[in-house]
Amino acid sequence: MSVEFKTDFFDRLQRVNKSSFLNRSIGQVGVLAVNFSKERFVQKNWLDRNRQSWQARKRPARGSLLVKSGRLKRSIRKLAQGNYYVYIGTDVPYAPIHNDGGQINKTVNVKAHTRRKANSRGRGARTGAATMEVKSHRRKMNINMPRRRFMGESAILNRRIERFLSKELDNEISRS
């Protein structure tokens, strides 16, 4: 015995212009993913199945985490899009070490420069104060960079995308 379900829903689903719906929806999913990643800089955490707060910086007076010039946050964008996928990412060279964490062990060359002398209380001198010349030199860097994830696979983001696509599909079906 077979039961056939014939409803208006399936007829309307067949009339949906799949190519225009997919192109429009995938583009908007990319915007959702980019905004989710940029939101991590404000919230200072990563959301997957649970909230994982970023490790606090050693010197809190230095400002916000991962935002000095805003270059990293501004660089997150949609890189590629197809019928069933969208890639977001960044071209900033230091993004992977911040996103994944890790160890930096290398020697860098420091150019000669002028720096202001600190006053007796250890604070930087004001304009017109004494300066000193620093010769060029090599410096060893051993830095353990903590993981401060802002891009990647997230269960929360997947749930937001599913809700968005479900709502868009319902709107598309009701229009046709």
The answer to whether 29 touches 164, Cβ cutoff 8 Å, is yes
**Cα→Cα distances 158→22, 78, 109, 163, Å:** 17, 16, 44, 9
pLDDT of residue 165: 85
| 140: helix, strand or coil | strand
User: Which position has the higher pLDDT, 146 or 58?
Assistant: 146
User: E strands along 48-164, which residues?
Assistant: 51-53, 77-81, 86-89, 102-110, 113-116, 131-134, 137-145
The answer to whether 95 touches 75, Cβ cutoff 8 Å, is yes
Question: Alpha helices, DSSP H only, in the chain?
Answer: 8-15, 18-43, 71-75, 95-100, 155-175
pLDDT of residue 119: 67
> How far, in Å, CA of 158 to CA of 160, rounded?
5
Q: What angle do CA 13, 19, 22 make, to 5 degrees?
A: 80
Residue 10: CA atoms inside 13 Å, Cβ hemisphere, count? 4
User: Mean pLDDT for the chain?
Assistant: 82
Question: Which tokens go with 40?
Answer: 């991590």
92-133 residue pLDDT tens: 998 999 899 899 899 999 999 998 887 666 555 555 568 899
> How far, in Å, CA of 97 to CA of 58, rounded?
17
Which range has highest mean pLDDT (36-50, 56-70, 127-141)?
A: 36-50
Residue type, 174: S
| Positive/negative CA dihedral, 29, 30, 33, 34 | negative
Give, as one character, the DSSP assignment of residue 76.
-
Give the pLDDT band of residue 134 (cuts 50, 70, 90).
Answer: very high
User: Which position has the higher pLDDT, 14 or 83?
Assistant: 83
| 103: helix, strand or coil | strand
Residue type, 23: N
Domain boundaries, the chain: 8-100+147-175, 102-145
Q: Give mean pLDDT, residues 140-166.
A: 90
Looking at the predicted structure, is the pLDDT value of residue 145 above 90? Answer: no
